[in-house]
Amino acid sequence: MKKLEGKVALVSGSGRGIGRAIALKLASEGASVVVNDLDADPAAEVVEMIRKSGGEAVACAGNVTASEFPERFVRTALDHYRGLDTSSITPVIPGTASSRK
Ligand SMILES: NC(=O)c1ccc[n+]([C@@H]2O[C@H](COP(=O)([O-])OP(=O)(O)OC[C@H]3O[C@@H](n4cnc5c(N)ncnc54)[C@H](O)[C@@H]3O)[C@@H](O)[C@H]2O)c1
């Protein structure tokens, strides 16, 4: 049994760079990952990478700083996975992600 099996991780800015590395690591440990990025293509690419390596992921493109986004982010997890509890949410915001519009 993997360490994060049954957990759902929300990872913002995970289409590239550090966020991507975090998403891939969490997935390799068994978490189902909701991959967010401003840009849809890299987010979809990360989802594909995770699925190809036997993991579980879904993309949720959008600006993490937008007021309506958090609800959509969590809703994506609830719609695709078994649900959420506070111990299964792993929000990660790379440093500059919040400064990009
Ligand atoms: N790469 C390094 O070695 C390093 C070292 C120390 C600190 N940092 C800092 O860590 C942060 C991330 O670095 P990185 O190299 O992973 O950057 P990156 O540009 O490769 O990746 C950031 C990702 O976040 C996405 N993003 C940006 N704003 C967003 C928003 N509002 N909503 C959703 N997604 C958004 C971008 O589209 C991009 O895909 C930066 O602040 C960087 O300065 C990086």
Residue-wise pLDDT for 46-88, tens only, equals: 999 999 999 999 999 999 989 999 999 999 999 999 766 554 5
Residue 93 confidence (pLDDT): 60
Instruction: Give residue 22 CA to ligand 1 midpoint distance, Å.
Output: 12
Secondary structure class of 58 (helix, strand, coil): strand
Only one residue has tokens 């979809």, namely 44
Confidence of residue 27 (pLDDT cuts 50, 70, 90): very high
Map out the domains of the chain as residue ranges: 8-95
Nearest to 90 by CA among 1, 2, 34, 10: 10
Mutate to test the pocket of ligand 1, among 35, 65, 69, 96 (most ligand atoms within 8 A of CB): 96
pTM score: 0.89
Confidence of residue 101 (pLDDT cuts 50, 70, 90): very low
As a whole number, the mean pLDDT across the chain is 86
CATH number for domain 8-95, candidates 3.40.50.720, 1.10.10.10, 3.50.50.60, 3.40.50.300: 3.40.50.720
